[in-house]
Amino acid sequence: MTPSWYDVLDVEPTATAEEIRAAWRTGIAELEPGSRRFQTLNQAAEVLLDERKRAAYDAELAAQAPEPVAEESRPGVDLTKTATETIAVHEVPSRGVPTWLLAVLGVLAAVSVGAAIWVWQAGDDTAVEEATSGAQAAAELAIEPLLSYNYQSLEADQKRAESYLTADYREDYDKLFALIEDNAQSVQPQVEANAFASAIVRSGEERVDVLLFVDQLTTNKGMAQPVTYKNQVTVTMQKVGEDWLIDNLVTSPAAQ
């Protein structure tokens, strides 16, 4: 029997989202981002940390479950035990980090960017660990307002996003946002971002790279139906005073 995504992450089908997220973070902690195992764990997390995908996947597993054997035909067999076998996980072929057409401007303009991801372990340095944890929490808080906007409230959306950015990166963001404003009324874009998982790419006391998995529900005047862009977003968090702010952002499409 092919192992399920629950088997890949070594969690029970009843596991909570937090338990799944913790298992995923533990699993990828010492892996190279380009490895097949890293990609497999990411695929499992992408399915199980999305409520709709997980519900559909659970229904698929239930449909594939073998019929229970009648007790009288198998005397002595404990029918409460699972029929799932523990076998080696099949690892999908490695994929290089691709270039992504920036989803924020997916309905307006295409901007190519590349993502180079590498992992650096911080050891037992408590200060680094605490700083990294704070940066990760700040990244999770900032990414949704940064990648969401509505043509009817652009000024407010821009000001909200700018509050999460360093002064240097704010200049780049404002140039990007100007393109949205130029076409807003004719295109009428609306983008709603939902971040459902994150992991540390590089630790540090003053600068931390955080990988986030983000869905962007996107629509505009010319779309008959909304489209969801699935992205991996790597943000560089910079410590500015007591705050962690975004100093750079690189994106690539999430594995489908």
pLDDT band at 209 (very low <50, low <70, confident <90, very high): very high
Residue labelled with tokens 């360093």: 166
Domain with CATH 3.10.450.230 in the chain: 100-253
Asked if residue 118 lies in contact with residue 211, where contact means CB atoms within 8 angstroms, the answer is no
CA angle (157, 159, 161) in 5-degree steps: 70
Sign of dihedral through CA atoms 152, 158, 159, 164? positive
Cβ atoms 146, 246 nearer than 8 A: yes
With a cut of 90, say whether residue 237 has pLDDT above it: yes
Fold of 5-73: Helix Hairpins (1.10.287)
CA distance 246 to 143: 9
What sign for the dihedral angle of Cα 149, 113, 27, 245? negative
> Which of 79-93, 95-109, 134-148, 225-239 has the weakest average pLDDT?
79-93
- Cα-trace Rg, the chain: 21
pLDDT top residue among 193 and 84: 193
CB atoms within 10 A of CB 151: 20
Higher pLDDT, 39 or 58: 58
Residue span(s) of the chain under CATH 1.10.287.110 come to 5-73
pLDDT over 80 at 135, yes or no? yes
Task: Answer yes or no: pTM beyond 0.85.
Answer: no
The answer to whether residue 110 scores a pLDDT higher than 50 is no
Superfamily of domain 100-253: VirB8 protein (3.10.450.230)
Q: What is the pLDDT of residue 9?
A: 93
Query: Which band of pLDDT confidence, cut at 50, 70 and 90, is reported for residue 125?
Result: low
Residue 190 pLDDT: 92
Query: Which range (56-70, 72-86, 135-149) has the least confidence?
Result: 72-86
Cα 157 to Cα 149: distance, rounded to the nearest angstrom: 6
Q: What is the pLDDT of residue 151?
A: 92
